[in-house]
């Protein structure tokens, strides 16, 4: 804007704003910090913070803000040109394997678990899993929109694939994930999780497991492909440094391998399309599809109630899940729901309940899931205002008891349809559901 700015930051974000200011070319930005949090504090406490001292510098807060606006600039602050950044050397070492493992761990290049050291031999072997040149640029990735994007080549993806313990035959799947440019370690205070679903012939070609225990630690391809995405997100996507490029308050255990599994296409009921076909790919193509969410819950169909009715109530749990946007003042409410069905559940829904496609089930759930009046007004303050002004239908809904359902669907966003995926080993009619929404797909065949 060309006028002086004084950023005032709550202290927990000090690393984030300092590193970002550096990356945005203002390394000497004049920050003033106040205690964290300020949200929800009464006026008296806010005044105390403002008339108190910056918890980092010890200077009086208001004086520091005024100085940020009025103190003449130093020569360093007026500087133009470019900031020299150290280029990482191509090789690490020579050193003993034990020391190299420590170097990788201390530099934050791992997920905290032991890795396979990426020797030139192992990386060359991984590169044989694709026809693409090692120096071809695969894409760019960033921890979230405001952060800088890092660029990476086929060789760099191969290095991280080796570290994850992947085999060369998995490499096209890993390249397909990397080519989307989507990080698995999205930085947000809300601790996102991710999910990878693999479709097409590649599932069997590389021995992935879509049957018993598909989402568990029982298959090498499922385990290492999912893990590779996290290592790529740290090392090639510039993310995963807590406080700077990762802010999830609690973190998310799903980030270890991002729920990587293949869809059990062979067990889809007749008329139900595989996920990649739903997303516009041909059945014979191999594809990875990525989802974003936070959490998963489980249910079993042992009582004689229709599964889809149970799913409807289960899905209600997810409008309070995720970001908590439903109850966040000033933020539009939005919810997502993805269901992972054991083939036995899918068969029942098709044959006994008449859902002839995945889409039919998805649309039924979207049209028939409602929240209570209390929750509706808590989520929609603007509608509450209209209701009190007598605007219909809100005024009539306001007469409903708190526990009654408001006939406005919870899942209303057409960009976030409820997704249905088939996976599992038919040991019992179980399903798992999560607050996940589909974000992107990538062709595996392109990277063979």
Partner 1 sequence: MKKRINWLLIGVFLVASLLVAYGSNAQEAKMTVLNPLGSTPLIRCVPMAPRLDTLSGKTIYIVNVKFPLTDPFLVEMQKAFAEKYPQAHWVLRDKKGTYFDDDRALWAEIKEKGHGVIMAIGH
Residue 331 binds to partner 1 (criterion: CB under 8 A): yes
Cα–Cα distance between 228 and 223 in angstroms, integer? Answer: 9
Residue 37 binds to partner 1 (criterion: CB under 8 A): yes
Name the minimum Å distance from CB 146 to partner 1: 10
What residues from 254 to 313 belong to the interface with partner 1 (CB under 8 A)?
Answer: none
Contact 76, 28 (CB under 8 A): yes
User: What number of other Cβ atoms are within 10 A of residue 414's Cβ?
Assistant: 7
Residue 148 binds to partner 1 (criterion: CB under 8 A): yes
Residue 7 binds to partner 1 (criterion: CB under 8 A): yes
What residues from 213 to 242 belong to the interface with partner 1 (CB under 8 A)?
Answer: 231, 235-238
Which helix H or strand E contains 314, and what residues bound it? helix 307-316
Contact 424, 343 (CB under 8 A): yes
Residue 352 binds to partner 1 (criterion: CB under 8 A): no
Give the one residue of 18, 53, 100, 220 binding partner 1; rule: CB under 8 A: 100
Residue 105 binds to partner 1 (criterion: CB under 8 A): no
Name the minimum Å distance from CB 94 to partner 1: 4
Name the minimum Å distance from CB 161 to partner 1: 10
Give the one residue of 58, 78, 304, 399 binding partner 1; rule: CB under 8 A: 78
Cα–Cα distance between 359 and 410 in angstroms, integer? Answer: 17
Residue 113 binds to partner 1 (criterion: CB under 8 A): no
C-alpha pair distances (Å), 9 with each of 43, 61, 148: 18, 11, 20
In the bound state with partner 1, the residue whose beta carbon lies nearer, of 159 and 418, is: 159
Cα–Cα distance between 279 and 198 in angstroms, integer? Answer: 13
Residue 91 binds to partner 1 (criterion: CB under 8 A): yes
Name the minimum Å distance from CB 47 to partner 1: 5
What residues from 168 to 197 belong to the interface with partner 1 (CB under 8 A)?
Answer: none
In the bound state with partner 1, the residue whose beta carbon lies nearer, of 161 and 287, is: 161
Cis peptide before 272 (omega within 30 of 0): no
In the bound state with partner 1, the residue whose beta carbon lies nearer, of 160 and 244, is: 160
DSSP for 410-421, written as a single string: S---TTSPPEEE
In the bound state with partner 1, the residue whose beta carbon lies nearer, of 160 and 222, is: 160
Residue 4 binds to partner 1 (criterion: CB under 8 A): yes
Cα–Cα distance between 310 and 369 in angstroms, integer? Answer: 11
Name the minimum Å distance from CB 189 to partner 1: 9
Residue 56 binds to partner 1 (criterion: CB under 8 A): no
In the bound state with partner 1, the residue whose beta carbon lies nearer, of 137 and 297, is: 137
Q: How many chain residues touch partner 1 (CB under 8 A)?
A: 89
Name the minimum Å distance from CB 296 to partner 1: 26
Cα–Cα distance between 380 and 216 in angstroms, integer? Answer: 39
Residue 119 binds to partner 1 (criterion: CB under 8 A): yes
Name the minimum Å distance from CB 178 to partner 1: 10
Which helix H or strand E contains 430, and what residues bound it? strand 430-434
Residue 92 binds to partner 1 (criterion: CB under 8 A): yes
Which helix H or strand E contains 198, and what residues bound it? strand 193-199
Cα–Cα distance between 327 and 375 in angstroms, integer? Answer: 8
Give the one residue of 57, 114, 120, 298 binding partner 1; rule: CB under 8 A: 120
Residue 151 binds to partner 1 (criterion: CB under 8 A): yes
Give the one residue of 143, 154, 160, 322 binding partner 1; rule: CB under 8 A: 160
DSSP for 355-398, written as a single string: --SHHHHHHHHHHH-EEEHHHHHHH-HHHHHHHHTT-TTHHHHT
Residue 123 binds to partner 1 (criterion: CB under 8 A): yes
Which helix H or strand E contains 175, and what residues bound it? helix 171-179
Cα–Cα distance between 273 and 442 in angstroms, integer? Answer: 18
């Amino acid at each position: 804007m060309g006028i002086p700015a004084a950023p005032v930051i709550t202290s927990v974000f000090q690393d984030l704003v300092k590193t970002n200011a550096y990356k945005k070319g203002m390394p000497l930005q004049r920050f003033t910090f106040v205690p964290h949090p300020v949200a929800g504090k009464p006026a008296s406490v806010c005044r105390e913070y403002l008339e108190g001292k910056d918890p980092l510098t010890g200077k009086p807060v208001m004086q520091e803000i005024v100085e940020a606006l009025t103190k003449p600039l130093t020569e360093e602050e007026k500087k133009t040109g470019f900031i020299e950044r150290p280029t990482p050397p191509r090789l690490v070492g020579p050193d003993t394997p034990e020391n190299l493992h420590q170097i990788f761990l201390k530099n934050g290049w791992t997920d905290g678990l032991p890795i396979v050291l990426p020797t030139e031999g192992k990386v060359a072997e991984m590169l044989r899993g694709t026809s693409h040149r090692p120096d071809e640029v695969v894409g760019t990735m960033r921890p979230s929109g405001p952060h800088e994007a890092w660029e990476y080549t086929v060789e760099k993806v191969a290095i991280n694939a080796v570290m994850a313990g992947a085999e060369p035959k998995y490499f096209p799947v890993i390249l397909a994930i990397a080519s989307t440019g989507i990080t698995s370690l999205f930085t947000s205070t809300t601790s996102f999780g991710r999910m990878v679903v693999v479709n097409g012939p590649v599932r069997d070609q590389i021995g992935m497991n879509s049957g018993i225990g598909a989402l568990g630690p029982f298959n090498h391809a499922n385990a290492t492909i999912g893990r590779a995405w996290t290592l790529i997100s740290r090392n090639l996507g510039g993310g995963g440094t807590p406080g700077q490029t990762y802010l999830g308050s609690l973190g998310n255990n799903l980030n270890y391998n991002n729920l990587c599994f293949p869809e059990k296409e062979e067990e889809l009921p007749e008329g139900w399309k595989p996920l990649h076909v739903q997303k516009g790919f041909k059945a014979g193509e191999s594809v990875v599809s990525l989802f974003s969410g936070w959490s998963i819950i489980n249910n079993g169909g042992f009582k004689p109630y229709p599964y889809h009715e149970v799913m409807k109530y289960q899905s209600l749990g997810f409008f309070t899940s995720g970001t908590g946007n439903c109850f966040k003042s000033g933020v539009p409410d939005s919810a997502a729901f993805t269901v992972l069905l054991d083939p036995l559940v899918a068969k029942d829904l098709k044959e006994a309940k008449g859902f002839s496609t995945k889409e039919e089930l998805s649309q039924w759930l979207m049209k028939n899931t409602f929240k209570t009046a209390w929750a509706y007004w808590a989520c929609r303050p603007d509608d509450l205002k209209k209701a009190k002004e007598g605007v219909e239908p809100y005024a009539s809904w306001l007469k409903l008891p708190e526990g009654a359902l408001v006939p406005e669907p919870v899942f209303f966003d057409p960009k976030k349809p409820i997704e249905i995926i088939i996976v599992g080993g038919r040991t019992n009619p179980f399903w798992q559901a999560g607050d996940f929404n589909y974000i992107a797909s990538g062709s595996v065949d392109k990277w063979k």
